[in-house]
Structure 1
Amino acid sequence: MVIGGILNPINSSMLAVALIPIGATFGVPPSQTAWLITGLYLATAVGQPVAGRLVDLYGPRPLYLIGTAVVGLAGLLGALAPTLGVLILSRVLLGFGTSAAYPASMSLIRSEADRTGMSTPAGILSILSIANQVISVIGPTLGGALIGLGGWHLIFTINVPLSVICVILGVVWLPSRPRTRNASGRLDYPGIVLFSATLVSLMLFLMQPRVSRWYLVVFAVAVGLAFVQVQLRVVEPFIDLHVLGGNRPLISTYIRQVLAMVGSYSFLYAFPQWLEEGHGLDAAAAGLLMLPLSVTAVLIIVITGRRARVRGKLIAGSIFLVAAATAPRFVGAHTALALLALVGVLAGLSSGLTGLANQNALYHQADPARIGSSAGLLRTGGYLGALVAAAANARFFQHGATTTGLHELALFLLVVAGLLVLVTLLDRSLARIGRPQPN
C-alpha cells in the first residue's frame, strides 16, 4: 500500500525541478510546461473517484494491480517522448494509473479495522501520510540528481521499476477475494463525461485567462450545472451529491483540502522554478533547497500523527500557510539561501499539519460503506487544488519564473490562506473528532 501510494507524489515532486530543463529542451516557457502539471491532475481528479467507485464495487486488489501496471507503461512513454504533447500524454496516463492505490489502501485499512475492532487506526493513517511526505522529501532531490546524471528523461524511466515492484508485491500479498458488491457494478458514464468536460473547459480558461475566452467559463458553468442535475437523478452516481448534501462536516473537509493543496502545490512547483530561473540555481541545488519543506512536514507528522484530535492541527496549519504566503513577498535574487530555506520550513509545517488532519477527519466523517469513494474524492479535492496552483503558476510566470511573478503569486496565496483560516474556524464539528467518548 505504501509503495503504491507514493507513485503519485514521487511523480509530482520530481517534476518540480524538471520543468525548467524540459522547457529548455522543447523551447517553451513555464506557461506551457505547466500543462505537464495540469495533465496529471486533470486525470487524477477524474480518476480518483472512478477508482474509488470501482474499489467499492470490485475490491482493492484488481484496481491496484491495473493502476500500477499503467504507471510503468506511462513512464516508458514519457522517457521516449519526442514532443511536449507526447510528454503531456504520458503525464495524463500517470494520473490515471496512480489513482487506484490510495482508495484501495483506505478500503483495505477500513476492512481490517472492522475485522479487528480497531476503531481509530491513527498510526496506520500516519504511516501513509509520512510515506507521502518522505517521497516529497526525496522527490525534488532525486529529480535533481537524475537530471544531473542523465537528463529529465530519467524522472519518467524510474516509474518502470517502481511499477514492477508494485505489481509483484500486489500479486503476492493483497487479498484476492473482492469485497461483497451491493450495487449493479455500472459506472455513471454521463457523469464522468460531464465532470471531465467541466474541469477541462475551466482549466483551458484559467491557464490563459482573457476576456476573449469568456465562452469557456460559460460552457464550464453550463456543463457543471448539467453534471449536478445528472448526479441528483442517477441511482448510482459518479459523485453522490445526496451524501454530500447531508454531511456538512465532510463538505468542509473537502473545501479545506482544496485550499490547503492550492498552497502546498503552489510552493512545490513555483518555488523551485523561481530558484532556478530567478535565483540562478541549477536543478540539483534547487532540489536540495526544497528539502527543508518536506523534512519539516515529515517531522510534524511524526510528532503529532498519533494524536487523534484534528482541530488544533488544522488551525495551526492554516496560520503557518498565512506566514508561508507572506514570506515570498520579501525575497529576491540575492536573498540568502538560509532565509529561502525558512520559507520552505513554514510551507512544510502547513502541508504536514493540514494533510494529515484532513485525512483523519475524513476517516471519521465518511460513511464506512463508501470509504473508498470518499477517500478518492478527498484526493480529487487535493488535485483540484493542484490544478488551481498550476493555473496560478501559468498566470504569474507567463513571462518566466521572475521575482515579480513570485511576489504576485504570494498575494494570491495570502487570499487562499485567509479562506483556509476562516473555513477551519467556522467548522465546530472538528472539536468532536478524537475527543474521548463517555462510557
Structure 2
Amino acid sequence: MTGSLTRVLRRLRPGSAKGSADGFDRRLLAPMMLGSVLNPVNSSIISVSLVPIGAAFGAPPSRTAWLISALYLATSIGQPVVGRLIDLFGPRRLFLAGTALTGAAGVVGMLAPNLGVLIAARVLLGFGTCSGYPAAMYLIRTEARRTGRQSPAGVLTALAVTTQTIAVIGPSLGGLLIGVGGWRATLAVNIPLAAAGLYLGARRLPATPASRRDDGRHPVSDLDLPGMGLFAVALVCLLLFLMNPRGGDWYLLLLTVAAAAGFTWRELRARQPFIDVRVLGGNLPLLATYARTLLAYVVSYAFLYGYTQWTEEGRGLSPSQAGLVQLPLFATAIVVSTLTGRRQAIRSKLLVGAVGQIAACGLLLLLHAHSPLWMLLAVVIVLGVPQGLNNLALQNAVFHQADGERMGSSAGLLRTFGYLGAIIASAAGGTFFGQRADTDGLHHLAAFMLAISTLFLAVTVVDRSLRRLGAPRKDDAPAETEPQHPDR
C-alpha cells in the first residue's frame, strides 16, 4: 500500500527539494497529505469503534450513529467556509488553526465521560479537520499556475491515493488501538497527528500575508458573513432532518427551504458572495459532479459503516477482525487509483465505478450470518474497484470544472456533498439496523444502496460534458482540458 503511494510520488517531476521552475514544490507534499488525511482517518477509524462505544455507554446503533453524523455535520459546514477563507488569506493560518483544534478534540474525546461529550468531541474534530483538503487543492492550483502545468495529474493522484491509504489503515489501526488501549485510544491518535501537522505546516507552508485590495480595503471586508450564516442554518436544518427522517420533525424542512431562499437572495446581491450562485448555477457540469459525489458517498459510507457493523454483530467478528476484513477494499482502491491516475478520461472511470458499485451491492444481498470468510473478502474486493475510480475521477473533475479563483471553496463544497452523502448513509444504517446490525437489516440497506448506485450510473450516462474532460490539448498532449468556466 505504501509502496503504491511511493511510486506515485516518484512520478512527480524531479527538482530540487524546493522544486524547480517546471516542477511541483515537493516540500508541500507532506503537510498537504497529512492535512488531507485527518478527516478520513477519523471517518474510517470510527467504523470499528461504534460497537465497543455503544457497549461502554449502553447506546444502540441508532444513537452511536450520531458519532458519525456529528463529524460530518460540522465538516459539511466548515469545508466551504474554511475553503473560502483559504481563497482569501492563503492556506497557512487556516491549516495551523484547524490542526490545533484537531489535537484539542483528540484530548476531549479521549477523556469523554459520556456519549454526549464524545459527540461534542467529534463536532470539534469536524471543524478541525476541514482545512486540510481545501488547502491541498489550493496549493495544487497555485503550483499549477507557477509551473505552467495545467494538469498536475501525478499530484492529484498522490492526494487521492493518500486519503485511500489512510482509509486502509483506519479500520485496522482502530481495531489494533481498541485491542491495546480500548476505544479511547482511537480518539487519542489525533494528538500526535496534530502535533506532526503543526510542525510540518509551520515549517513548510508558505506565508501568505493578506494583500490590500485595489481600493485599499483589507480582504477581510470580502467575507460574506451573512451568507455563511444562512448557509450553515440551511445545512444544519437539512442534516438534522436527514438524521431522523421518521421523527416527525418536518418543520426542519421548512426551515431549510426558508434559509436556502434567504441564502440565495443574499448571494445574488452580495458584492463578494461566499458562494457565487450565478457562476455555480451556470456551471452545470460542476453541479452534476457534486450530485454524483453525494450519490457515490452514500454507497461508499453505507458500506463502510453498515457492513462493518454487520460483520461484528451479524457475522460475529471481533473489532480487530472486522478491521482486517476491510483491508482488501482500500488496498484494491489504492492499486486501481495508482494504475489509472494518469489516464486522462474521467467519464470512463465513473461509468466503470458505477457498474462496480451495482455489482458490490448485489453481492451484499447474498450474505448471511454463516457466510464463509472468502465471501466477505470477495465483496470488499469488488467494491474496491469503484472506490479507487470514483474518488479520483470526482476530485479531478472539480479541479478542471471549478473557477480557479475559488478552488478552496469549490473543493470544500465537494467534501460537503460527500459528507451529506455520508450522513444519509449513517441515517440509513440507523434506520435499517435499529437495535442490532443483523442480516435482514444488511439486506434492506443493500437494496437501498443498489437503488442509489443505479441513479449514480444514470446521472453519469446522461452527462455529455464528461466527454470533454480529459481530452488532450493540441499544444500539450499529456495535459487535460483547461478549467471550465461557462460564465467567464
Q: TM-score range by the shorter chain?
A: over 0.9
SS where residue 249 of structure 2 aligns?
Answer: helix
Show the counterpart of 2:262. Answer: 226
Alpha-carbon deviation of 1:8?
0.5
Alpha-carbon deviation of 1:308?
2.1
Deviates more, 1:185-194 or 1:380-389: 185-194
- Which amino acid in structure 1 is aligned with residue 336 of structure 2? I
**1:12 pairs with 2:43:** yes
**1:86 pairs with 2:122:** no
d(CA) in 1 for partners of 2:44, 2:296: 17
Corresponding residue to 1:384 among 415, 420, 440: 420
Show the counterpart of 1:23. Answer: 54
| Superposed CA RMSD | 1.4
Post-superposition Cα deviations, 1:205-239, rounded to whole Å, max 9, x if no partner, equal 33332373332333323333333222223222332
1:57·1:180 contact (CA, 8 Å) conserved in 2? no
**1:244 pairs with 2:275:** no
Show the counterpart of 1:308. Answer: 344
Post-superposition Cα deviations, 1:355-385, rounded to whole Å, max 9, x if no partner, equal 1001111111111111111111111111111
- Structure 1: segments with no counterpart, 5+ residues: none
Show the counterpart of 2:332. Answer: 296
Post-superposition Cα deviations, 1:283-312, rounded to whole Å, max 9, x if no partner, equal 000000011111111110011011122111
Alpha-carbon deviation of 1:148?
0.4
Show the counterpart of 1:415. Answer: 451
Alpha-carbon deviation of 1:333?
0.4
Alpha-carbon deviation of 1:108?
1.0
> How is 1:298-337 mapped onto 2 (pairs within 5 angstroms)?
298-337=334-373
d(CA) in 1 for partners of 2:77, 2:242: 18
Alpha-carbon deviation of 1:17?
0.4
2:74·2:126 contact (CA, 8 Å) conserved in 1? yes
Show the counterpart of 1:36. Answer: 67
- Which amino acid in structure 2 is aligned with residue 22 of structure 1? I
- Which amino acid in structure 1 is aligned with residue 157 of structure 2? S
d(CA) in 2 for partners of 1:243, 1:30: 41
**1:217 pairs with 2:224:** no
**1:119 pairs with 2:150:** yes
Q: For residues 242 and 288 of structure 1, do their structure 2 counterparts lie closer, same or farther at Cα, with a shift above 3 Å needed?
A: same
**1:431 pairs with 2:462:** no
Show the counterpart of 1:393. Answer: 429
Post-superposition Cα deviations, 1:182-204, rounded to whole Å, max 9, x if no partner, equal 55544333333333233333333
Show the counterpart of 1:161. Answer: 192
d(CA) in 2 for partners of 1:232, 1:180: 26
> How is 1:125-144 mapped onto 2 (pairs within 5 angstroms)?
125-144=156-175
- Which amino acid in structure 1 is aligned with residue 36 of structure 2? G
Q: For residues 373 and 208 of structure 1, do their structure 2 counterparts lie closer, same or farther at Cα, with a shift above 3 Å needed?
A: closer
Aligned pair count?
439
1:43·1:96 contact (CA, 8 Å) conserved in 2? yes
TM-score by length of 1: 0.97
2:243·2:424 contact (CA, 8 Å) conserved in 1? no
TM-score by length of 2: 0.87
Which 4+ stretches in 1 moved above 6 angstroms? none
**1:188 pairs with 2:224:** yes
- Which amino acid in structure 1 is aligned with residue 246 of structure 2? R
Show the counterpart of 1:66. Answer: 97
Corresponding residue to 2:128 among 75, 97, 105: 97
d(CA) in 2 for partners of 1:412, 1:102: 29
- Structure 2: segments with no counterpart, 5+ residues: 1-31, 214-218, 476-488
Deviates more, 1:221-230 or 1:426-435: 221-230
SS where residue 112 of structure 2 aligns?
Answer: coil
- Which amino acid in structure 2 is aligned with residue 329 of structure 1? L
Deviates more, 1:210-219 or 1:21-30: 210-219
Corresponding residue to 1:277 among 313, 335, 340: 313
- Which amino acid in structure 2 is aligned with residue 296 of structure 1? T
d(CA) in 2 for partners of 1:85, 1:184: 35
2:89·2:208 contact (CA, 8 Å) conserved in 1? no
Show the counterpart of 2:4. Answer: none
- Which amino acid in structure 2 is aligned with residue 120 of structure 1? S
d(CA) in 2 for partners of 1:329, 1:46: 35
Show the counterpart of 1:57. Answer: 88
d(CA) in 2 for partners of 1:356, 1:241: 26
Alpha-carbon deviation of 1:352?
1.1
